[in-house]
Amino acid sequence: MAARIEWLEDGAAGVSPYSPRFGDHYCSESGGLEQAREVFLKGCGLPGAWQAQPQWCVLETGFGLGLNFLVTWAAWKADPQRPRLLHFVSIETFPASAGDVLRSALTHPELIPFAQALKEQLWGLLPGVHRLVFESGQVLLTLCIGDAKAMLRESAFEADSVYLDGFNPQRNPDIWDMHTFKAVARCCRRGTRMATWTIARSVRDALTQAGFIVRTVPGTPPKRDTLQGEYNPAWKPKKTRPALARTQAARCIVIGAGLAGAAVAASLARRGWQVTVLDAADAPATGASGLLAGVLAPHVSPDDSLLSRLSRDGIRAMLQQAKSLLENGRDWRPSGVLERCVEHSRQLPAAWQHGQALADAARDWTQPATPAQLAAAGLPPKTPALWHAQGGWIKPARLVAAWLATPGVTWRGNAAVSQLVRHAGAWQALDDAGHLLAQAGLVVLAAGPGTRALAESAGLEHPLALQPIRGQASWALHAPEDAAGQASRARAMPPFPVNGHGSLVPAVPLAGGLAWVAGSSFERDSTSTRLRPADDHQNFSKLQTLLPAAAQALAPQFESGQVQGWAGIRCATPSRLPSLGALEGVPDVWVCSGMGSRGLTFAALCGELLAARLHGEPLPLEQRQADALLPQYVAR
């Protein structure tokens, strides 16, 4: 539930935001904009401190209405010597609504474009970590919803600047206590600068005990003083989860030009890497990523399982990429997705139910389907079903092409890698004749089912736990009919994708006309891409159960043999989660694979997660979620 804010008439200060929960205003008497610039930005030596740096990370303890972020973002954009990447990590226990965030910025015309862009992404803020992306991926806001201490304890990054913000220590003491500052200190390096508006003695003493050297400095009237400091403890800090070293961008080989490989290549290129993508085929996305169109929808479970939470993180990342890179209506459509609960009624988490604290944020993601939505799919009004508001369909090949077009990425086809050899501190990718295809200091394996053999060729002792999964989809162009036939078919076909027992994407624009895609089959340990008529029959049988009216409308095409098939080999893990991380005992070789039938859900997230881990950046998801994706191995 969004924090309740009252907008009060405060005389000279104008209408100001006030929190009834804490009995305090969201900004100082001088105004939030002045405080953000003078106390926080200048108090941390910005923008001067970040100039000529490859990346810069700001940690904030209270997001509030986002003014500190907006001012920092604006300063970054105005600075010709800005870092390539700006990370802003902010924690908020009681997030404000998107409307209140925008309203707070309306009195500052220079911030309105930034605030409008921020408002567009402030949806679905359930507890956890949310990565918001701006400036084509060069400004990254990691918004952590939850208790500050718990969130910081799970973090493993190094902040370059710290903004200590929040309501008055007397009104909200939890965010200003010793335990919070110790948690902040674990995210600092020696020399990290800190700034805050309060000079309370309890705050100064707690910061000193946490390892900060603090000093009071003249403030902005009517506030006489503010506080600045630097993390420089007299002892050697012991970090239970030390931050990873910040790798410098160089040259990298990515093997595999599907969703996984293209996503990794784009994420690394945005950070300055020169990436060569090698693929055995003569065109990108010819494997499992060659499906005409796939469904994008979150996984839902009563206990909000790890898979469910990861799927939401992945979909948020994918939506950001699709909106930035693809053409709506041609390459993708965020139409929403109806999930019919065929085998059993799918239960939402109890905290998402109407009237509960998380109901509003959860509604942005998933809610019971309405009678109107069911009717649009040709289903009875009491059919058990869910509506995924952030779902839709995407053409994977179009997304792969967009990612491979990122500056810094070079794609090479007809380049089948058979072996990886370590030579003079770098990796050489060789073909089956032993010829050199490419050489680089870093290799990322994203070759689907072929990933396992390539990892072993590099010297991996225990094989990766990866399994091939064959899938066959059925599709056809909508048959031309007379006006009456077209009207009948239009009534039978839903205006959005439907999944739950197989799936149907009802209207995909292709060069030859409008197509539908149904399926797909799921066969473990099969690597055959030969089309099987029996699989088309199976897809039709599932469609008859999922959407009887649509199946009846498409039956003539199935019966007359007009339906075409498509088969691809996906790659999965025993946990049903992706495999993402550095290989054990093999230096500078990483894996990004095992996404199974959820490549569209996980690819963008995994690309950013790999880049973040490689560069010691804040992660785009919770630490324990990221750890669950580390590669799994098979004991010999």
CA–CA dist 293, 423 (Å, integer): 41
Examine residue 65 and state whether it is found in any structural domain, yes or no.
yes
> How many other C-beta atoms are found inside a 10 Å radius of the C-beta of residue 51?
13
What is the domain range of residue 532? 467-572
Examine residue 64 and state whether it is found in any structural domain, yes or no.
yes
In this structure, what CATH number is given to the domain that contains residue 121? 3.40.50.150
CA–CA dist 265, 253 (Å, integer): 9
CA–CA dist 592, 256 (Å, integer): 10
pTM for this prediction: 0.94
Phi and psi, residue 219, nearest 5°:
-95, -175
CA–CA dist 131, 140 (Å, integer): 7
SS3 content of the chain, % helix, strand, coil (to 5): 35, 25, 40
Same domain, 74 and 210: yes
* pLDDT (0 to 100) of residue 12: 45
Which of 406, 463, 447 lies closest to 586 in space, CA to CA?
A: 463
Same domain, 598 and 517: no
Give residue 448's Cα distance to chain centre.
21
CB 599 within 8 A of CB 259: yes
* Consecutive 10-residue averages of pLDDT for the chain (636 residues): 81 70 76 87 97 96 95 98 97 94 92 97 97 97 94 91 90 90 95 95 95 92 87 86 75 98 98 97 95 96 96 98 97 98 86 91 96 96 96 98 98 97 95 96 96 96 95 92 52 93 96 94 91 95 96 95 95 95 96 96 98 95 95 85
* pLDDT (0 to 100) of residue 110: 95
CA–CA dist 28, 34 (Å, integer): 9
Helix or strand run (H / E) with residue 378: none
Examine residue 383 and state whether it is found in any structural domain, yes or no.
no
Structural domain total, the chain: 3
Examine residue 448 and state whether it is found in any structural domain, yes or no.
yes
Same domain, 183 and 108: yes
Strand partners, 145: 92, 128
Same domain, 108 and 257: no
> How many other C-beta atoms are found inside a 10 Å radius of the C-beta of residue 168?
15
Residue type, 486: Q
Examine residue 361 and state whether it is found in any structural domain, yes or no.
no
* pLDDT (0 to 100) of residue 331: 98
* pLDDT (0 to 100) of residue 483: 42
Whole-angstrom distance between the N-terminal and C-terminal Cα of the chain?
A: 50
Same domain, 528 and 450: no
Same domain, 482 and 541: yes
Same domain, 440 and 503: no
The β-bridge relationship of strands 392-394 and 294-296 is: antiparallel
